[in-house]
Every structure is written in C-alpha cells, then in structure tokens.
C-alpha cells in the first residue's frame, strides 16, 4: 500500500468524489471489499451508515474528533461516516478511527440528497 494512502472514488449517482484511504486497519479491510456500497443518511455533521459487517481496528487507532472531510469508522455501531462539518466541536465525539479523507472541498456533501448510496471503488 502506498505510504500516503490509496486513492479511491466515492460515487453517488453521477457525482464522483475523490478520496484517499490511509493505512489503518479498518481502511485495509475496506479496500479488500472494494467495490463496496453503503447506504448513508445525512445528519448534523456527517453522512453516516451502518456497514454490513464491522471492520477490524486496533484500540490505539481510536480517538475523539475529526477534521472536516475525514472518512471514519465509528466503532460503537459499525458506522461508516463522512464527517464534513463542525470540526471545531468534534472533540466531544469519541470512538472513531480515521480511515482517510476527501481530496476536495468537503462542502460538496451539502449538495447531496439526505439519503444516498455511496459506491466506493479503487481509482
């Protein structure tokens, strides 16, 4: 796996969002499943959806908070999340492993429908 991560595409209908997955344990497990589709719902800070199977992770990878544009696995409910706003108040949310980041402006997420299917593919 490249030192700086693996380029992927998040495909929502006709919209292609470039992203990079890092070398974390859940990212590696997700890459092995590609192409992979997950249903996400928009919430206050993110798009989030339950994965069909939980991803493995190491406890040392768990942290609180995010940076806008992070792609994360929230271990409490096997959630795949694209966190795109409210970074400044994010430290109150814990139990996450960062799996990567969107490669462009995270505001693109505001242009999508409330409920979406995201297909994750290798680039």
pLDDT tens profile 90-103: 999 999 999 999 99
The candidate with the shortest Cα–Cα distance to 72, out of 94, 105, 42, 88, is 94
Which CATH code for domain 6-122? 2.40.100.20
Task: Kindly state the average pLDDT of the residues 102-114.
Answer: 97
Across the chain, where does the E strand assignment appear?
6-12, 15-21, 36-42, 46-50, 70-74, 79-83, 96-102, 115-122
Q: Helices then strands (H, E): number in the chain?
A: 1, 8
Please compute, for residue 40, the number of CA atoms within 13 A of its CA located in the half-sphere on the CB side: 29
Read off the pTM.
0.95
Does 85 score more than 60 pLDDT? yes
**In the chain, % of residues over pLDDT 70:** 98
52 near 39, Cβ under 8 Å? no
95 near 62, Cβ under 8 Å? yes
Instruction: Give per-residue pLDDT as tens, 16-27.
Output: 999 999 999 999
Name the phi and psi angles at 21, rounded to 5.
Answer: -95, 140
Task: Kindly state the average pLDDT of the residues 43-71.
Answer: 97
Domain ranges of the chain: 6-122
Q: Which pLDDT value is given to residue 63?
A: 97
Does 12 score more than 70 pLDDT? yes
């Amino acid at each position: 796996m490249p030192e700086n991560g693996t380029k992927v595409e998040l495909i929502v209908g006709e919209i292609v969002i470039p992203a990079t997955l890092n070398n974390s344990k859940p990212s590696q497990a997700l890459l092995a499943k590609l192409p992979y589709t997950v249903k996400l719902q928009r919430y206050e800070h993110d798009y989030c959806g339950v994965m069909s199977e939980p991803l493995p992770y190491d406890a040392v990878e768990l942290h609180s908070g995010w940076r806008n544009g992070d792609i994360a696995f929230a271990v409490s409910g096997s959630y795949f999340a694209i966190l795109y706003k409210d970074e400044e108040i994010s430290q109150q949310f814990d139990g996450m492993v960062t799996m990567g980041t969107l490669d462009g402006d995270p505001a693109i997420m505001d242009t999508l429908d409330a409920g979406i299917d995201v297909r994750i593919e290798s680039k």
